[in-house]
């Protein structure tokens, strides 16, 4: 799989990806995303800020995610285990339903963790919907530890972090 930063020309394909994932989650009883989130404005901002990465398989965007570099005091106020002055928050990771179950999410996690380390950053934080068992399994199987909980518009989310070495 090739990972790259998308351009605004990729925006229609990315929005189709997020809509397909939203429909797939809905069909599986996971009401995590909808027409409000993630809206096109979020994805556009991810692209223009350089925070978004995509994984290409067979000429298609199979996976997308955003990495936001943050500093102490940014993100959610919980009792984080690792008091890093700079950390990355993973947002909007999703795998197109056509590519799920094929190791794409694992490859994306490998790539993003390597990217974070290459920046000299050693901590990744994220929130995961409490009713999304595939996401929870992915993060926990990779050593992410639950640091707290938060309620957003769609319900309870778990806050996770991992110290990279």
CATH number at residue 31: 3.40.630.30
pLDDT for the residue numbered 56: 98
Q: What percent of the chain has pLDDT over 90?
A: 91
> How many domains, the chain?
1
Q: Rounded to two decimals, what is the model's pTM?
A: 0.94
Range of the domain at 86: 2-163
For 49-62, the pLDDT digits (tens) are 999 999 999 999 99
**Predicted local distance difference test score (pLDDT) of residue 96:** 98
- Span 76-104, pLDDT tens digits: 778 898 888 999 999 999 999 999 999 99
Q: Is the pLDDT of residue 34 over 80?
A: yes
- DSSP character string of the chain: -EEE---GGGHHHHHHHHHHHHHHHHHTT-----SSTT-HHHHHHHHHTT-EEEEEETTEEEEEEEEEEEETT-S--S--S---SEEEEEEEEEE-GGGTTTTHHHHHHHHHHHHHHHTT--EEEEEEETT-HHHHHHHHHTT-EEEEEEEETTEEEEEEEEE--
Q: Which of 16-20, 58-62, 72-76, 136-140 has the weakest average pLDDT?
A: 72-76
């Amino acid at each position: 799989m090739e990972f790259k930063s998308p351009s605004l020309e990729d925006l229609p394909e990315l929005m189709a990806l997020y809509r397909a994932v939203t429909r797939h989650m809905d069909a599986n009883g996971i009401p995590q995303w909808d027409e409000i989130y993630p809206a096109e404005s979020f994805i556009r901002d991810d692209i223009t800020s350089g925070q978004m990465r995509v994984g290409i398989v067979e000429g298609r965007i199979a996976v997308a995610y955003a990495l936001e570099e943050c500093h102490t005091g940014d993100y959610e106020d919980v009792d984080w285990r690792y008091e890093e002055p700079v950390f990355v928050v993973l947002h909007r990771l999703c795998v197109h339903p056509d590519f799920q179950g094929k190791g794409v999410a694992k490859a994306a996690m490998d790539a993003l963790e390597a990217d974070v380390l290459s920046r000299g950053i050693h901590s990744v934080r994220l929130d995961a919907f409490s009713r999304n068992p595939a996401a929870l399994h992915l993060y926990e199987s990779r050593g992410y530890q639950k640091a707290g909980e938060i309620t957003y518009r769609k319900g309870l989310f778990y806050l996770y972090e991992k110290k990279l070495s």
